[in-house]
Amino acid sequence: MSPHLRQAMTASLAGICLWSLGVAAWASESGPLSKTPGPAPVAAQGEIAAPVPSGSQGPTVLPPGGTSVEDLLLQKGTITMDEWIQIRAEQEYSGAESARRIDAIEDWKTRTELLPMLRDKVNFGLNALQFLYSHQDAHVPEGKSQDNFSIRRSELLFWGRISDTLPRWHALMEFQSINFGRETPTGGSGAATGQPIAATFFRESYIDFRPFQSWAPYMNFIRMGIFRMPFGIFTETSGGLRDIISSPYLTSVGSGNGNRTGSAGSIDFLQERDFFVDVRGKLFNRLEYVAGIMNNNNFHANATGANAPKSFYTRVRLFGSDVSWISFTTIQGESNNANTNINGRGKGAFDRYGLDFRYTSKIIPGFMVQGEWWQGHDGSNQTTVGRPANGACLDQSICGGSGAPGAQRRTWYVLAKYLISDGLFQNWEPTVMYEQFDPSTSMSNDLYTRTILGLTYYFENFPPKVQSKIQFNYEFRHHQGNGPGVAYDTTFDAFAQNAFLVQFQIRFM
């Protein structure tokens, strides 16, 4: 047998063997072979050795990279080598274009990672957007309604972190209820009432400064600016996280001007915000402390003049667990009635003493109870914002104001709630609160009391960042009067008549 014939037979036998193996593999995957065999799979065809063309040239040498569709087409003679080269060139160009686009994306990613917002230097969110319906049983002046729709809060919050030394900056803007602030002029009762002089959009603006990294958390940071004051629980709690709709009486109670008993008129016992500088830290992972100095003239003072004598405050809070505590707060200083931006402040010694607690149960998940007790002294001749006042004397013709002596005031409340976490009433939260406010502990017939029954449904509840909810509150209100021997009519007194409130809120940041 000639060598050429032997070589041809060997190639034919090898091809038959490979074809048989391919058919067997296809049959094992597709089931029994039909009587009429179909074409061999492409994968099997790709493994068949290319026939050796006649002539002196050897078999076609395929480029590296494995068998592809164009390789198979070239082997079958469907395309020419020039066409194969053109296809490969287009593939290489497409690959280069993809690589170029990936490089562009990586460059964009590198640049955007340096943006302040993505580095936590600038953030913004919706602190609270609240739509409120309220009904009060108290009569209202002609032209007004006992039923009201209003935007309770429309607050945008901006904050960020610059560095370890400047761990936070913070600015809160209120875009609703931007009223002109009033000046409280100096003078006797004959002086003109203070005129509106400024409108304030910002509610909070502060900077945290950490001078020594190694001292944290024992001396964690110094905070300076305007913020919710660290007085108890309610004053420091954001309006978007409160469990009831109305503010407690410890922040504000009463209406109108005061009288000689010191029991009447608007009284802002604890202002929620002020200009301050304080230092904050935590010891032994159990004891938090705050100590600082404030203007004691409310946050409006930036526009109307921060002329009040400075007051010192401190709070010590002992944690029983990460969510339960008891704390003590004191404020010491003096207050003015002239140029005041806080209702019920007199001229003279000023102090506040507070005790608060919160118990969040881990035995009964969802149950929480908290309370606060406060007592403090306001100086003589208290006044309301815009009403002329001038010193501590009780002669209204000379010193204006209310002509009332200094007063000791006392207030307290207890609040309990239970969040239902499963079952038919999942995400519903019943709440109950009871509080008292005594404008003057030395006077009778002036006590304010209130019981609030509340029901809240949470659409989203991931505090402190996200909390969307609807709240229903019914308030049983009672007010004894404006002091002994003072004529009093409850008809128009909103603090003596019951009220019903519904509030829808969105909070997201």
Binned at pLDDT 50, 70 and 90, residue 90 comes out as confident
pLDDT of residue 60 exceeding 70, the answer is no
pTM, two decimal places: 0.76
**Amino acid letter at 9?**
M
pLDDT of residue 27 exceeding 60, the answer is no
Taking CA atoms, 471 is separated from 75, 224, 244, in Å, by 77, 34, 8
Q: Which residues contact 405 (CB under 8 A, 6 or more apart)?
A: 262, 380, 394
**pLDDT of 78:** 83
**What backbone torsions phi and psi does residue 205 show, to the nearest 5 degrees?**
-155, 115
pLDDT of residue 508 exceeding 50, the answer is yes
**pLDDT of 48:** 40
Domains, the chain, ordered by start: 117-508 (2.40.160.10)
Provide, rounded to the nearest whole percent, the portion of the chain with pLDDT above 70: 82
SS3 content of the chain, % helix, strand, coil (to 5): 20, 40, 45
What is the token pair recorded at 131?
A: 């739509």
**pLDDT of 56:** 41
Does residue 49 contact residue 14 with C-beta atoms inside 8 Å?
A: yes
**pLDDT of 128:** 95
**pLDDT of 240:** 92
Provide, rounded to the nearest whole percent, the portion of the chain with pLDDT above 90: 60
**pLDDT of 112:** 66
State how far the Cα of 88 lies from the Cα of 78, in Å rounded to an integer: 16
Q: What is the pLDDT of residues 319-355, one digit of tens each?
A: 999 999 999 999 999 999 888 889 999 999 999 999 9
DSSP-assigned states of every residue in 284-311: TTTEEEEEEEE-SS-TTHHHH---SPPE
pLDDT of residue 37 exceeding 80, the answer is no
**pLDDT of 75:** 83
Which string of b and e fits 418-449 if b means at least 16 CB within 10 Å? bbeeeeeeeeebebebebebbbbeebeebbbb
